[in-house]
Amino acid sequence: MAFEIYKPRVEKDTFVSISKNHITINKELLSKLNANYVELAYDRDTKTIRIKPSTNKNGLSINKNKIGARGFFKHFNIEQKGKFNAVFDDKEKALYIRI
């Protein structure tokens, strides 16, 4: 018999969930952002969402660990849902999600 070893995902701290109306960030990534308001941006070529802290209340507010993003999704015609890998860039203090 050939046994295969189960290895659970250790890197679960680097995932973000996207639903119809929200982006949900786990506590580890949220603490790295260290902000109450964020700016969302989208690169159509690479299909990457950038979440960056906003210095003023013009950004979207973070409610616990969720960002209301329905308007953002509609504006950029983003329909993907699920869990996506996220990378935090310490230099830019931004979170990148490739969808």
| Cα 48 to Cα 66: distance, rounded to the nearest angstrom | 18
| pTM for the model | 0.82
Q: What is the mean pLDDT of each run of 10 residues along the chain (99 residues)?
A: 74 80 91 90 94 86 92 94 91 92
- Residue 11: what pLDDT? 53
Which amino acid would we find at residue 30?
A: L
Asked if 93 and 52 count as a contact pair (C-beta separation under 8 A), the reply is yes
Task: Say what the pLDDT of residue 12 is.
Answer: 57
